[in-house]
Structure 1
Amino acid sequence: MPPRQFDGQRVKRVRRGKELSQKQLGERNGVSAPAVARWESGQDFPKGEKLPALAASLDQALDVLFPHEGPADLQLLRCDAGLSVAQAAAVLNTSRVPVSNAESGRRRLNDAYVKPLAHAYGVTEAELLAAQEQSFGLRASRPSALDTRTPAPRTVEEKINYLLEYGYVGQTPPSDEEIARAVNEHAGMTIVAAGDILALRTGAVTDTSDAVRAGLAHALQVDVALFQDDAEVNPAAREFLEALRFFGSIRRREILGLAARGNATGLSAEMMAKINEVVGELKHKLPDVQGGE
């Protein structure tokens, strides 16, 4: 799995928005159409060092298409520079061992390696050393995707992506074309195209009409109030967003069981936020769950 978050369905939506076939995208990245199909279906992932070129071939910002959590570590710096371990080692005129040891937190880089590696990665020496410290012991403290300390989504872009990420756990989220179709059906006329949805989702366009906002709410099955620009997320919307993450946690088996008693109104937003925070802290420590339910 690459150090950045790789969502094959997101790649598929962007590719379709660009009117590219799997073969065309593969040709741009030196792989076959079946390889792209495996990426999009979640059966396989490209190597981390391939993501910058993949994002560029789709005309997307790397951090938008493939976000990452927490401060950068050595592996992320290398991959963002588009270098494999072997290529990074070649910069140092050494074997792969020093690079691999540093990335895995086993042995720090020799002082003589810091300057050339920082230059190869396009960062300062201080940034490289900070990333090395991140590789040595701070991995477990990275905030998870469920960490409630992450600010709630406020812009149209953030809300669309949030709902696509958390609102369709175990399901295939709608494509840009499907969202546009639902928006137009709700409006009773054609007011957007798939490209317009892509522009909103990637932040290329930051504002839109009330009719589009209402259509987005209809397409993504949420209350229209959620798509209004508010400085603060209102309590009802906050509870809804926490519920999305909470049930996503259960679906992914990050929460294995829960009993709530003596509360006729269900769990509060504060309680769900706290549970999400605990899940975020524990998810890297728990073994994978195998077997039945």
Structure 2
Amino acid sequence: MPERRFDASGFRSARVARGMTQAQVAAALGIKDPSVVSRYESGDASPPPEKLPRLAALVGERVDDLFPRPGLPTLADLRCDAGMAQKDTAAVTQTSSCSPVRAAEGGRRKLAPQYTAPLAEAYGVSVEELLAAEKRSFDEDAPAVPRPPKVEQPSGPHTIAKKIAVLLEGAARQERPTDAELADLGNARLGRKILNGPLVTSLRLGRAAHTTPEVLEALAAALDVPAMFFETGDAEVAAVVASLRSARIGLTAMAARGAEGEPQNAELMRWVADMFGGRPQSGSTSPPQTRS
């Protein structure tokens, strides 16, 4: 089954229209040499297929529109659409290597039953869709699996993906942590390895709508919010938590800067810590008096 086609001229046109430079694209992909992106656009090289969803998102396009795939997806297609390299699947299957996925994608050995559900979740598809894609990897006929109609959700950050977006939207793009950095931060704050980059990507993009409480706790730690932010189904509660976090970040920055030409405001910093759950501080929780 042919994989997605990288449209070099289409990507370049979309990048220019978006106002992005080749260097910015390279930085977003973690590529040190911007000339690599130039080679993509000239047709001298093609990006790895798992990079295509990220490239499309960078220029504000749907991957199906910018880089269409002829026919129905195989296992390799599902993995690439999730932005994952083969080596990333070892963490999903909890095996020492990616050999189970590599063998299935190559049409040599089908996946063991215990791998199908975790891979389907990581790829953002149903188990039925994964098994149909596996058949195609073995050159077996498998029709498209119909997806249930989307149910309209109430407004507010009610899904994991939208909650992550709310917490990240205030930062400039170049200042936002990567998914791998968020995973490392959450693991470090909880003192155990729970997250990995592909899992955070899957949650951030909405490909995995549900996960374990332990993962949510680590994600909350990485993003500096209480775990209940991700656990609650109340959109209003989630919105309030996000607003308080934004206020805390703003006040902390103001206190660290101080007034124009003045040193940082230690009193304001203590008050912010008291009000927003920092280290215990003595004294009143009333706002400090501003200096005239």
Shorter-chain TM-score: which interval? 0.3 to 0.5
| TM-score between the two structures when normalised by the length of structure 1 | 0.45
**Higher Cα Rg: structure 1 or 2?**
2
| TM-score between the two structures when normalised by the length of structure 2 | 0.46
